[in-house]
Amino acid sequence: MNPAFMESIESPNDMLVDTDDLLAEHENEKDDVAIIDPDSDAETPLRADNYEAMKELVLPPLQEQPEVICDGEYTWNIEGWRTMPRREHGPVFEVGGFPWRVLMFPFGNNVDHASFYLEQGYPDNKPPDDFVCCVQFGLVLWNPNAPEIFTHHTAHHRFTKEEGDWGFTRFVELRKLWTQPWDGTGRFLVESESANMTAYVRIVKDETGVLWHNFQNYDSKKETGYVGLKNQGATCYLNSLIQSLYFTNAFRKAVYQIPTQEEESLGNSAYTLQRLFYQLQTSNGPVGTNELTKSFGWETRHIFEQQDVQELSRKLMERMEEKMKGTEAENVLPKLFCGKVRTYISCINVEYESRRVEDFWDVQLNVSGNKNIEDSFKDYIQVETMDGENQYFAGDEFKLQDARKGVIFETFPEVLHLQLKRFQYDIDHDAMMKINDRYEFPETFDAAPYLSDDADRSESWEYQLHGVLVHSGDLNAGHYYAFIKPAKDGWFYKYDDDKVTKATMREVLEDNYGGEYVVNGQIQMSKASTPIMRQNSAYMLVYIRKSRLDSVLLPVTQDDTPAHLQKKLDQEAAIREAKKKEREEQHLYLGVRVITEDTYHAHGGTDLTTFDGDHTQDPAAARYYRMLRKSTIRQLIEKVAEDTGVDPKRLRLWSMVNRQNKTTRPDVPLVDPNQSIEEAHQRLVGSKTAELRLWAETADEVAADGEGIWPTQPNLTNGAAHKTDLIVLFLKFFDPETQTLSGAGNIYISREKKVEDLVPAILKKMGWPERTPSGDKLTLRLFEEIKPTMIEPMKGKQSLKAAELQDGDIVCFQKVPDGKGSESDRESISSRTNYLDRIEDARQFYDFLVHKRTVKFHPHPTRTINPEAYEVFELTLSAKHSYDQVCAKIGEKLGVDSTHIRLWTVNATSGHVKTTVKRGQSQTLQTILNPPYSTFSNNNQRSDALYFEVLEISLSELDTKKALRVLWLSEGLTKEEFVDVLVPKNGTVEDLITALVKKAQLEDEAKAGPIRVYEIHSNKIHKELPRTHTVVSITEYVQLVAERIPKEDIEATGTDYMQAFHFQNEPNKAHGIPFKFRIVENEKFSDTKKRLETRLGIKGKNFEKIKFAVVRRASYSKPVYLNDDDIIWDVATHDDDMLGLDHVDRTRVIRNGVGDLFLK
């Protein structure tokens, strides 16, 4: 619809269809009109009064192919067109038991076209609340005197109570009705102000309940009984996999059996998966996967990156299998998902066969070149004949023999995951591409033909389709969703993130075969006359063995879910419900924060309290009360009295006022205890703050009836006011001995008194004698805390009135040591402050409070010597501290030399080490934690934490060294150890090896053998470094690896070496540590493997699982797998040939740099 017409178009629901956007019509309007040409030899033109022929024209087959319930048509004879009102309805007619009518705007619905719509025809335009009808319809406007002249449009719509009309705002231009004859006819569409409008209505069956649904206010749980998963950003692939696993009921039940009651941590992926499954089971709305992805160790950026679904599935299975060890579910996953496949080479003419049996958790089927999964399975198990020059060496007994080579399945699992290889490398485009070829898969198939002859066939190997995981889009951008059949019998459902809908078998099968886009049997063509390819196609299929359907899809009841999980989630649900209720009732309540005597005594900072603190965590924070707005001040006093243990008669509340200097101080007492909280808030602060802030004063004296006696009383009952010059002052005591500042209560004093008169009042308040033990007069130094950054000394002879003191002002005092002068007029202390020394003056301490920073220090996890010896600790420091002063405080805390400490910043997102802090003369704690300008290295860093590293040498000496991290290999290649070494910047690899031997406490080269160093990049050797190579030229983009040169390699020449690396399935998926390996001329690979076993340090079954291949260094080259009788010297004929070790990546490193998917 054209948005320009939205506001002015009149329609019950504004759902108006424009021909340009939503109609299946001819390319131009002329084609919509039949033209009579008497001289033409063409066939008889179509006439609008030929209703059956017109129905075929205006009601073409639909893409969704819904079942037709009934058809009908009705013709409205329109008379007096020019005299009709702006809006007119045709007569009501019935089709399929529903009333219909045509809505007409004869002069256009605010456009220069006549407008026509099909509308429900219920009386008073009020259909039933449950009115739903899916309709395909066509409207034909024609000349009753010349039926060959007509125009038509067609559409389909889901009619509901809310959307009761649908049609065409621009049905036909007004100028074409009666002012412009149709080409070559000399006649008009509307003659004598009359025309016919025929409505063709076809009611179709809504099998799924969502045909042409707009999904506004759609409730998945209500409509289907199931809920979806929220998409965090690009996690639709995860959602489709999770739903598939969730509806594999035996898997869900096994996950519930993992004992997590002792580890209810959101860092435990088994626990978070249990929580997710339980929420899918019980929730009424879509469930989030945030907890699960966080337990994987994913950061924010990773949820916006689409991962490999097959890899994610395998890693999730591995993790759950590991968690199930030692539980009753220990063998459930292999039983459900694991089958066995045999790789064999069988001699044709002699009885000799080499075979290897391996487990598989999914089967990868080729899509390219195959029409369906049956073809793919045949392709998978096809037999290769080894003859001629490619004969197989069958040992010394049989020598070279003709043989058959292939794979065959020994068993299939109960739940068979088929990965369709939709994404493959395209050599022409030199990139990974999506294969959109048509590829069919059945609802059931028999896997028996692909089993070995000796397989157990006592049960049928027929499989039933359980799930189809679909990818829509191309390699770089797309969307994932799933079709799953939750029960043995019944419907498939489409799980598209947070939406769940019923699905037809056509949607499950045909729509996901891929290939050309076909509508009503016709291949759709692009403007370039090439077939339009479907963007959505299946990439993973889930089949369940028919004979095991009952055990795989067994019911999972409330009793199967762990009790502790139910309890925890029910508690969380109750808390959420309480918070929701609190939000809903928020308008009835007002927050009140109250400063009490105990909070002020505990306060050690500036002003009177911390209003944004939590009193349950910080005793100095103001107490918080959530009060009904209509409750009274008296009720609030009773609550405060109950919390503080004070008689409510002794409490009086004062309002707080925000002063211009950004401080908050008491203003006036509240004298009417019956005043409501809302009235007090409006009268005192209006709408300036969302909460009411008060001070609770405690009376020192009480009357006979227990009521508090107040030094000042603002109002009497007759309305007259006391005339008093008393003011209330707050006291704070700075104690140099304990280096603390604390609240000391409040006192009343006349404004006419002098500052020095405060001293006896303070002594009385504190309970101190007038003289010291030595007999000298106890003197105090007084300061006024005007604001946190303005602490002024008070003059003893000055009156309080002249000092401009008023209610709520703060006086800070400290004792003056014997012989240190009087309490008044002191010279300002030096601004040069060393915060590492004892603070003797209150002003210094206030300055410290303003710049105080509490910083958490963590030992560097890899660089610190013995990091386990150091605990995480916090230090309260000044932002003015220099780099050296911060290190001195750390050194004092740890008992180490402060010159041997180096600081590192913390990544705010991951909490990992970010970068080193440069030591400089102008560097302070403030500039370290909050750099004055942003750079790539300091953005996104924590402002309250640092890592520290304890060095072996001083930081100044370190500046002359280059820090290098070396991966030291010992015991073959199985034991890896990272060693950080420092080498002079002008040093060589020789110096690097010397430092490595010393740091790792290795035997020297003379005794244990020489050491070699090489660089690796992308899990492949980049180059071996000669000993004279300078360390300054080693970049941070490569990994250094060092190892003892094997004895057999010492005498070898350069041509005897071959670089070896590890990969999984495809050579571009490299992993692990590469190495150099010596090859021997004329050595059979069976013997070579024995040396490899020794070299790798891997034995037994783990070594047997490795498949060896020769791989060209060029990217995406196809590996040539080696047999025992091959001679690697002869196979590897090119200089850039490498030895590839194909096996599962046990290090679980993701190629996109995330690190481990499962960190916890």
The identity of residue 775, as a single letter, is G
Q: Give the 3-state secondary structure of residue 841.
A: coil
Residue 338 is a catalytic residue: no
- Which segments within 161-210 are labelled E, that is strand? 165-173, 195-204
Q: Which tokens hold the place of 11?
A: 């329609």
Annotated catalytic residue within 133, 338, 347, 887:
133
Annotated catalytic residue within 236, 347, 812, 887:
236
Q: Is the separation of the CB atoms in 400 and 393 below 8 Å?
A: yes
Q: Is the separation of the CB atoms in 627 and 672 below 8 Å?
A: no
Q: Give the 3-state secondary structure of residue 484.
A: strand
Q: Is the separation of the CB atoms in 23 and 31 below 8 Å?
A: no
Q: Is the separation of the CB atoms in 686 and 680 below 8 Å?
A: no
Q: Give the 3-state secondary structure of residue 111.
A: coil
Q: Which tokens hold the place of 684?
A: 């005192």
Distance of CA 38 to the CA centre of its chain: 70
Residue 662 Rama label (left phi>0; alpha psi -120 to 50; beta): left
Length of the chain in terms of residues written:
1160
Residue 245 Rama label (left phi>0; alpha psi -120 to 50; beta): alpha
Sequence-ordered list of residues with C-beta below 8 angstroms from that of 927, at least 6 positions apart, any chain: none
Positive or negative, the CA dihedral 1125, 1130, 1133, 1137 is positive
Which DSSP category does 671 fall into?
Answer: -
Which DSSP category does 1153 fall into?
Answer: S
Residue 419 CB burial class (10 angstroms; 0-12, 13-18, ≥19): middle
Pairing of strands 499-503, 492-496: antiparallel
Percent of residues in the chain assigned helix, strand, coil, to nearest 5? 25, 35, 40
DSSP symbols for 1028-1078: T-BGGG--TTSEEEEEEPPHHHHT--GGGEEEEEEEESEEEEEEEEEEEEE
Sequence-ordered list of residues with C-beta below 8 angstroms from that of 301, at least 6 positions apart, any chain: none
Q: Give the 3-state secondary structure of residue 624.
A: strand
Spatial distance between the Cα atoms of 261 and 784, rounded to a whole number of angstroms: 57
Nearest to 239 by CA among 422, 415, 469, 421: 469
Sequence-ordered list of residues with C-beta below 8 angstroms from that of 51, at least 6 positions apart, any chain: 73, 198, 200
Number of Cβ atoms within 10 Å of the Cβ of 1103: 15
φ and ψ at residue 308, rounded to 5 degrees? -75, 120
Helix (H) or strand (E) holding 928: helix 925-929
Annotated catalytic residue within 113, 479, 1071, 1143:
479
Spatial distance between the Cα atoms of 484 and 487, rounded to a whole number of angstroms: 9
Which DSSP category does 1156 fall into?
Answer: B
- CB-based burial, 143-167: b 16+ in 10 Å, e otherwise: bbebbbbbbbbbbbbbbbeebbbbb
Beta bridge partners of 819: none
Q: Is the separation of the CB atoms in 482 and 243 below 8 Å?
A: yes
Q: Which tokens hold the place of 999?
A: 């740091």
Residue 133 is a catalytic residue: yes
Q: What angle do CA 1050, 1052, 1054 make, to 5 degrees?
A: 120
Which DSSP category does 837 fall into?
Answer: S
Residue 479 is a catalytic residue: yes
Distance of CA 724 to the CA centre of its chain: 64
Number of Cβ atoms within 10 Å of the Cβ of 235: 27
Give the catalytic positions in this structure.
133, 236, 479
